[in-house]
Structures are given as C-alpha cells and as structure tokens.
Amino acid sequence: MTKRVFQVWKGSNKFILGGRLIFGPDARSLPLTLLLIIVPVVLFCVFVARHLRHEFSPYNAGYAILVVAILFTIYVLILLFFTSARDPGIVPRNLHPPEEELRYETTVSADGRQTPSVQIPRTKEVMVNGVSVRVKYCDTCMLYRPPRCSHCSICNNCVERFDHHCPWVGQCIGLRNYRYFFMFVSSSTLLCIYIFSMSAIYIKILMNDQQGTVWRAMKESPWSVVLMIYCFIALWFVGGLTAFHLYLISTNQTTYEKLRYRSSHSRSIVYNRGCPNNFLEVFCSKVKPSRNNFRAFIEEEPPRVVTLPSTTRESGEAEDENGPRRQKVEDDLDIGEDLINLSQRCNAEEANNNQPHHTLDIDHERAGSIRTEARHGSWGRRSGSWDVAAATDVRESRSYATAKEARG
C-alpha cells in the first residue's frame, strides 16, 4: 500500500488529522501552556469580572470587561494554534547529494594504488543583496542550506529563516510562523496587563465601597491579589520577550543570528532594509506556501548509482585479467595435453624399433601439474611464473621427436 509523506517523514515532528497539522517532538508542553493561559482567565472571569458588571455607568457597561477578556483569550489561543500547528518553513530533504556539487578525487596509497572518492564541499558562497554570504552543507538533509536557514537539532529539520525552537509552543519558529509567534507573545503581554489592571481596579473599588484600607480590600478579594502577582511575574517573561523581538524586527535579525553572530556587524546589515521596511516585511508580506505536501503519496524513485572515474592502472589490470590472461591459460592447457600425447607416441615408436636409448622421458605428473597450475593461475596475479619453462619443455620435446623421425 502506498504511503503518504507524513507517514515516512524522517524528521522528529508529530502529525495529527492525517498530516494536516504538524507539531514539534515536544508538543506535550502545549497542554501546560494552555493551562497557564486559560486558568488565570477563568479565575479572573469568576472572581473579578463578574463583580464588575454593574460597577460602571451605564449600569451594564461592566459586561464589556468580561466579554473583552473572553474574546481576547480566544484570540491568543488562535495565535498559539497558528504558531505551533503549522509548517514553520521546513526545507524538503534531498534523496541524494546534489550531483552538480560532487567532486571526484583520487588518493594514492603507500603501495601506489589509486582509490577514487567522492567529496562534497562543506561550504559555498552565494550573493545576498550584493553581499557574499557563506552557506553550509547539511549532511542530514543532503542540501546546501539557504541563507538564514539552520538545522534544528530538536525537530531534525532545516528551517528557513530559523529563529529558535520554542518549547512552550512545541515548534520551531521560522519563516512561516514567526509573525504569529510574535503576535502570540505580544498579545499574551497585553492580556497580562489587562487582567492585572482590572484586578487592581477591583481592589480600588472595594476600598472605596467599604471605606477601608488596601489590606482589608485584599482580604475581601484574595483572588485579585493572586492574579496580580501571577500577571506581574508573567510580564517579566512575555513582556521581556516582546521587547527583545521588537528590537530584532527593527534590525531584521533572528534570535539565532543575534546570539551566534553577535560580534559580526557585517552579517547583521546584510538583511537590514531600514526599520519601517523591516516591520513591513514581517507583518505585511505574504506568507509563503509550504514547500512540503505532507499528505501527498510517495512516488518510488529508482536507485541511482554514482560512477567513479576509474584509474588507468586498474583499467589495464582488468583488461589483462579478462583478455590475454584467459587466452594464456587456455594455451597452457593445450601445452599439457600435447606433452602427454607426444610422450605416449614416442614411447610407442621406441617399443617398435627396440631403441631404448632414444626413449623420451616426460614426467606425466609435471604435465598434469602444468594443467593444474594453469587453472590455479587464472585466480592470481603471478600465474605467469611457470609459462616459460613449460613452453621450453614443449619446444625441446617437439625438436627431439623431429630428429628421431628423421633418423628413423
């Protein structure tokens, strides 16, 4: 049965709904993030916003506080979903290394043997906005990473315009979800400020109604105090993260580039188009479509063989083994048979003429050994050590037989 791309995906991502949604390998942290958002809002609606419904004129204007809290929370959750459940900009892997970048090199060993090998340059230079930028080759994805692309060790993917991997959303932050990530963080900051402010206002109202001190008002509504403390702590994280990414957007940098190339000023200005254009690029440009179709069916690709250039020495040896060497072995087999036949014929003639002093004594074991050595020599490289002696024996035997016939 043909499988889909997401079923054989080599990255560490997790897919649901048949590959329609993609998460990082640490998506288990998402429930915790949801609880950190939903639980404070529920407590705020129950213990604070409910009591503020009739505290503003006109009489029911306080309902807006409750409605705003609910709608704004839904908006934050939608941004969280867009950040964590979509392709962040994964670069598709290659099935084979790029052939146009392959380099064939030959190494010579101590014994003179040449061994061809295939190598790929680790880096190459590309031009970005008129500036030469070095890009690296990724052994895992078998491609040269595009500029501003990096390989995430957690997701095991190369991600375009890689910013960082966020464990709170369980996904890489890259080209296709950075906008939603920043909007999620900044919206969470505004939500914290909103809950903190409304809780403080409720404490102020209790002080005015009861003509008491702040401590008495805090005892009257302890959940307001808890929410204020929680939002104050959360603001240090989400608020600080919002301020940091505002700076990155204004200079058109990523978190990865800022931390890795902090001392390289030339690299930071390659992509900087000015503060207004940098903000327009992040928030007003069209989001590029995904380069991966995770629901597509896999097409079987025939295996490809990379042909290495053969050396002259190896080609000559191969020719010798397949051509002249085989012919040489066959000739030696014929020599062994001729020696046996010649020995039998000469001995028969000597027996008829009663001339024992002319007997040709040829060792049949030696003739048989020639045949055996010939067969054995076809598997080795030094099988030519006996062919001269064998040919000499044949010539001597044949000349002796010719002289004997002439005398007879």
Alpha helices in 211-260 (DSSP H): 214-220, 222-234, 240-251, 255-260
Residues 207/253, Cβ–Cβ less than 8 Å: no
Catalytic residue list contains 166: yes
Residues 6+ away with beta carbon under 8 Å from 72:
187, 190, 191, 194
Amino acid found at 124: K
Q: Count Cβ atoms below 10 Å from residue 216 Cβ, excluding itself.
A: 12
How far apart, in whole angstroms, are the C-alpha atoms of residue 133 and residue 230?
Answer: 45
Which of 186, 187, 182 has the alpha carbon at shortest distance from 249? 182
Residue appearing with tokens 């101590």: 110
Residue 118, φ and ψ in degrees, nearest 5: -110, 130
The dihedral over CA atoms of 350, 354, 359, 365, expressed in degrees to the nearest 10, equals 70
211 class by beta-carbon count within 10 Å (0-12 exposed, 13-18 middle, 19+ buried): exposed
Strands 123-128 and 131-138: antiparallel
What's the DSSP call for residue 279?
Answer: H
Annotated catalytic residue within 138, 149, 155, 166: 166
How far apart, in whole angstroms, are the C-alpha atoms of residue 183 and residue 164?
Answer: 16
The first and second tokens of residue 315, run together, are 């080609």
Relative orientation angle of helices 324-353 and 364-377, to the nearest 10 degrees = 170
110 class by beta-carbon count within 10 Å (0-12 exposed, 13-18 middle, 19+ buried): exposed
Q: Which residues are catalytic?
A: 166
